[in-house]
Amino acid sequence: MSTSAQGYLVILEAFAKKHYCKDFEKRASWSVTWKSLEQTFARFDPDLLAGKLEPALKISDDRTLTLYKYSFRMADENKSAKASGNRVILVVDEGHQTIRVLLVYHKNHVKGDRETDWFMKLIYDEYENLP
């Protein structure tokens, strides 16, 4: 977890860490990559993340929770974030200034033909209180 004075508290959920993060952790560059992701999310600003952050997937009725998909590249890759196939699903809680990382995966982890259907089912089966 990390936080900055005016930023967000970033929480890597146990479910995310237990499942697909373990594949990333096998790579030497994961600790550097994760530290970069933590810092980026702590300073979260959707306008500054254009090209990596997709438009909001879902927004709660009270507009305090927003679900996003974010593309990233490993520190040792020479590909763009989108081309790398690495993704993070996160929920931003404006009320508590918290970002919960729900899932970290590579497109090779996806089961079935539709990536969005796959991760939406996975996160909604695992987590409560999502938008």
Residue at token pair 């020479």: 78
**Which pLDDT value is given to residue 107?**
94
Choose the CATH number for 9-126 among 3.30.2310.20, 3.30.360.10, 4.10.320.10, 3.30.300.20. 3.30.2310.20
Q: CB neighbours of 32 closer than 8 A, spacing ≥ 6?
A: 75
**C-alpha Rg value of the chain to the nearest Å:** 14
Per-residue pLDDT reduced to its tens digit, 70-88: 999 999 989 999 999 999 9
Percent of the chain beyond pLDDT 70?
A: 95
Per-residue pLDDT reduced to its tens digit, 7-61: 999 999 999 999 999 899 999 999 999 999 999 999 999 999 988 999 999 999 9
Domains of the chain by residue range: 9-126
Q: Of all helices (H) and strands (E), which one includes residue 37?
A: helix 30-42
**Which pLDDT value is given to residue 51?**
87
What tokens appear for 117 in the block? Answer: 């259907």
Q: pTM of the entire structure?
A: 0.92
